[in-house]
Structure 1
Amino acid sequence: MLRCFLRTVIAMRSNHHTFASANDLPWVNTRCTPLRRRSWITNICTSAIVVGLTISFPAYTSADGALETATQDSPLQLESDVYIPEGLWPDPPLMQAPRVADSPPEPLTPPPLETVSIMLDWFLSPQHAVILIAHEKGFFQQQRLDVGWQIPGDPSLPTKLLAAGEIDLALGRQTQLHLAAHEGAPLTRIASLVKTPLNAIVAINSDDDAELETLGSRPLGFATQEGQQLVVPLLISETVRQSEQYAKPRAIHFEAVESLTEGGIEIIADAFFHTLPSRLATQGLSATVIRYDDLSIPRYDGLIVMANRNTLGRRMDTWIRFVVALEDAANWIIENPQLALDRVTEAYPRLKDSLTDDHWQDLLRRLSLTPAALDVHRYQAMETFLQQRGITSEMLPVEQLAIDPHLGQ
Structure 2
Amino acid sequence: MKQLKVGLAAVLVLTLLMLTACGKSEQSANESKGSADKKLIDVKIALDWTPNTNHTGIYVAKEKGYFAEQGLNVEIVLPGSNSSMAMVGAGNAEFGIGVQESITQGRLQGVPVVSLAAIIQHNTSGFASPVDKNIKTPKDFEGKKYGGYGSPAEAAVIESIMQTQNADFKKVTSINIGEADYFTAVKRDVDFSWIYYAWTGVEAELRKEPVNMIYLTDYSDKLDYYTPVVISSEKLIKEKPEIAKAFMAAVSKGYNYAIDKPEDAANILIKAVPELNKDLVMASQKWLSPRYKAEAPRWGEQKRSVWENYSNWMFDHKLLEKKLDVDAAFTNDYLPKSN
State whether TM-score is above 0.5. Answer: yes
Q: How many angstroms apart in 2 are the aligned matches of 1:403 and 1:233? A: 31
Contact 1:179 1:226 in 2 (8 A): no
- Is 1:140–2:64 an aligned residue pair? no
Over the aligned positions, Cα root-mean-square deviation in angstroms equals 3.1
- Is 1:277–2:217 an aligned residue pair? no
Q: Which residue of 2 aligns with 1:399?
A: 327
Q: Which residue of 2 aligns with 1:85?
A: none
Name which of 88, 95, 102 aligns with 1:162: 88
Once the two structures are TM-superposed, the CA of residue 133 in structure 1 deviates from its matched residue by 0.9
Residues 122, 279 of structure 1: alpha-carbon distance in 2 compared, 3 angstrom cutoff: same
SS in 2 for 1:194: coil
Residues 190, 330 of structure 1: alpha-carbon distance in 2 compared, 3 angstrom cutoff: same
Q: Which amino acid aligns with 2:326?
A: V
Contact 2:142 2:168 in 1 (8 A): no
Q: Deviations over 1:338-369 (max 9, x none)?
A: 33333333443424142354x43331121137
Name which of 310, 316, 323 aligns with 1:382: 310
Q: How many angstroms apart in 1 are the aligned matches of 2:206 and 2:252? A: 35
Once the two structures are TM-superposed, the CA of residue 305 in structure 1 deviates from its matched residue by 0.7
Name which of 255, 269, 273 aligns with 1:348: 273
What is the correspondence of 1:200-279 to structure 2 with a 5 Å cutoff?
200-206=126-132, 210-223=136-149, 225=151, 228=154, 230-234=156-160, 239-241=168-170, 247-253=173-179, 255-262=181-188, 264-269=189-194, 271-279=195-203
Give TM-score scaled by structure 2 length: 0.77
Contact 2:114 2:330 in 1 (8 A): yes
Q: Which amino acid aligns with 2:225?
A: Y
Identity %: 16
Once the two structures are TM-superposed, the CA of residue 137 in structure 1 deviates from its matched residue by 0.9
Q: Which amino acid aligns with 1:325?
A: A
Once the two structures are TM-superposed, the CA of residue 297 in structure 1 deviates from its matched residue by 4.8
Q: Deviations over 1:223-253 (max 9, x none)?
A: 4847525424336779553x6xx63331423
What is the correspondence of 1:169-188 to structure 2 with a 5 Å cutoff?
169-188=95-114
Q: Which residue of 2 aligns with 1:292?
A: 216
Higher fraction of helix:
2
Residues 152, 406 of structure 1: alpha-carbon distance in 2 compared, 3 angstrom cutoff: closer
SS in 2 for 1:179: helix
Residues 127, 351 of structure 1: alpha-carbon distance in 2 compared, 3 angstrom cutoff: farther
Name which of 127, 130, 147 aligns with 2:54: 127
Q: Which amino acid aligns with 2:218?
A: D
Q: Which amino acid aligns with 2:324?
A: L
Q: How many angstroms apart in 2 are the aligned matches of 1:145 and 1:255? A: 36
Structure 2 spans left out of the alignment, 5+ residues: 1-18
Q: Deviations over 1:146-191 (max 9, x none)?
A: 111222346x722222222222222022222212222332111012
Q: Which residue of 2 aligns with 1:23?
A: none
Q: Which amino acid aligns with 1:361?
A: K
Q: How many angstroms apart in 2 are the aligned matches of 1:130 and 1:115? A: 19
Residues 275, 224 of structure 1: alpha-carbon distance in 2 compared, 3 angstrom cutoff: farther
What is the correspondence of 1:20-39 to structure 2 with a 5 Å cutoff?
none
Q: Which residue of 2 aligns with 1:193?
A: 119
Residues 226, 404 of structure 1: alpha-carbon distance in 2 compared, 3 angstrom cutoff: farther
Contact 2:117 2:230 in 1 (8 A): yes
Once the two structures are TM-superposed, the CA of residue 142 in structure 1 deviates from its matched residue by 0.7
Q: How many angstroms apart in 2 are the aligned matches of 1:385 and 1:341? A: 36
Contact 2:263 2:286 in 1 (8 A): no
Residues 367, 328 of structure 1: alpha-carbon distance in 2 compared, 3 angstrom cutoff: same
Q: Which amino acid aligns with 2:78?
A: I
Contact 2:115 2:230 in 1 (8 A): yes
Contact 1:205 1:266 in 2 (8 A): no
Contact 1:195 1:303 in 2 (8 A): no
**Higher mean C-alpha deviation, range 182-191 or range 205-214:** 205-214
Q: Which has the higher contact order (CA 8 A, sep 6+)?
A: 2
Contact 2:70 2:247 in 1 (8 A): yes
Give TM-score scaled by structure 1 length: 0.65
Q: Deviations over 1:370-407 (max 9, x none)?
A: 34533112111112222222222322222221112349
Q: How many angstroms apart in 2 are the aligned matches of 1:222 and 1:297? A: 22
**Higher mean C-alpha deviation, range 340-349 or range 139-148:** 340-349
